[in-house]
Amino acid sequence: MKAFVINKYSKKQSLQRVELSLPDVKENDILVEIHAAGVNLLDSKIKTGEFKLILPYKLPLILGHDVAGIVVKTGKNVKKFKTGDQIYARVSDYRIGTFAQFIAIDEKDAALKPTNLSMEEAASIPLVGLTSWQVLVERAGVKSGQKVFIQAGSGGVGTFAIQLAKHLGAVVATTAGAQSTGLLKNLGADIVIDYKNSDFEKILSDYDAVLNSQDQKTLEKSLRILKPGGKLISISGPPTPVFAKEIRAPWFVKIVLSLLSSSIRKKAKHKNVDYSFLFMKADGEQLSEITKLIESGVIKPIVDKIFPFEKTNDALSYVESGRAKGKVVIKIK
Query: What's the pLDDT score for residue 206?
Result: 98
What is the average pLDDT value for the chain, to the nearest integer? Answer: 97
pTM more than 0.95: yes
**Helix or strand (DSSP H, E) at 68:** strand 66-74
Class of residue 94 by CB neighbours under 10 A (exposed 0-12, middle 13-18, buried 19+): exposed
SS3 6: strand
Confidence of residue 40 (pLDDT cuts 50, 70, 90): very high
Q: What is the pLDDT of residues 244-262, one digit of tens each?
A: 999 999 999 999 999 999 9
Confidence of residue 80 (pLDDT cuts 50, 70, 90): very high
**Helix or strand (DSSP H, E) at 236:** none
Q: What is the pLDDT of residues 293-328, one digit of tens each?
A: 999 999 999 999 999 999 999 999 999 999 999 999
Query: What's the pLDDT score for residue 85?
Result: 98
Confidence of residue 282 (pLDDT cuts 50, 70, 90): very high
Is the CB of residue 57 less than 8 Å from the CB of residue 21?
no
SS3 276: strand
Measure the N-to-C terminal CA separation of the chain; round to a whole number of Å: 12
How far apart are alpha carbons 168 and 73 in whole angstroms?
38
How far apart are alpha carbons 103 and 63 in whole angstroms?
11
**Helix or strand (DSSP H, E) at 36:** strand 29-39
Q: What is the pLDDT of residues 122-163, one digit of tens each?
A: 999 999 999 999 999 999 999 999 999 999 999 999 999 999
Task: Tell me what the mean pLDDT of segment 210-214 comes to.
Answer: 97
How far apart are alpha carbons 25 and 193 in whole angstroms?
48
